[in-house]
Amino acid sequence: MSALGAVFRREFAAYFATPIAFVFLIIFLFSIGVFTFYIGNFFNNGTADLSVFFGFQPWLYLFLIPALAMRLWAEEKRSGSIELLLTLPLPVWATVLGKFLAAWVFAGLALALTFPIWITINYLGHPDNGVILASYLGSFLMAGAYLSIGAAISAATSNQVIAFVITLVVCFLFTVAGASAVMDAFQGWAPPALVDVVSSFSFLTHFSAITAGVIDLRDAIFFFSVIGLFLYANVLIIDMTKSG
């Protein structure tokens, strides 16, 4: 565990060693503010809830999380520092998990800094804070799922742009898997069992269920399963890099 903690501290501190962290935080907070208050017409909805705020988050994550994840391994490969990293007496799983957790906690920090919006909605009305808290948790889990995908893809290339584009495409497919247009396309030829499987992989479906106030353990298990699967893939990719 000391190895995991060392990697986590190194990676998390690295975000604040350059302007990257502050640029990301400013862009995230500015974007979520614009989407919520202006595009989402927050003050004209007449309801004391954060449905608009959380409704835009999956689409915002589609661009910002791949941008955060693309440097996790691709930059190490590009600069050649991965060779030094892999020679250290650290288990691969600790390195992979430490990098991921540092990025996930940083994403969580960005999400936590939106608390003034939560305070605002409580000042204006009487929202269901239990649902809002669950929605924040669901958002954090979804961000982790996006990050795990991006980390695995970043480990497979030394080009950050390629990592960003592929991560965006893969995350988009996971997000819209349960959309009606996608389901209609499959229902024309696929058996119902396959349609149900495709729908079950939708990030949007699981996240929407949480934000609607339906707290189902299966949604949390889904996101943790995606995180675990792609972190395992990340470990395998780095193991192959180390062996090669």
What is Dmax (Cα atoms) for the chain?
60
Judge whether 32 and 56 are in contact, CB under 8 Å: yes
Low-confidence ranges of the chain (pLDDT < 50): none
Using one digit for the tens of pLDDT, what is the confidence trace for 185-234?
666 666 666 667 777 788 888 898 888 877 778 899 999 999 999 999 99
Which residue in 127, 123, 114 sits closest to 50, CA to CA?
127
Could you tell me which residues come within 8 angstroms of residue 90 by beta carbon, excluding any fewer than 6 positions away? 3, 6, 7
- The DSSP string of 208-223 is HHHHTT---HHHHHHH
Q: Sign of torsion, CA 140 142 146 151?
A: positive
pLDDT, residue 189, reads 62
Spatial distance between the Cα atoms of 24 and 75, rounded to a whole number of angstroms: 17
Spatial distance between the Cα atoms of 11 and 37, rounded to a whole number of angstroms: 34
**Structural domain tally of the chain?**
1
pLDDT, residue 46, reads 63
Judge whether 164 and 67 are in contact, CB under 8 Å: yes
Task: Tabulate helix, strand, coil % of the chain (nearest 5).
Answer: 80, 0, 20
Q: For residue 125, how many C-alpha atoms fall within 13 Å in the half-sphere facing its CB?
A: 13
Q: Which domain holds residue 149?
A: 2-243
pLDDT, residue 166, reads 94
Q: For residue 182, how many C-alpha atoms fall within 13 Å in the half-sphere facing its CB?
A: 19
- The DSSP string of 28-43 is HHHHHHIIIIIIS-GG
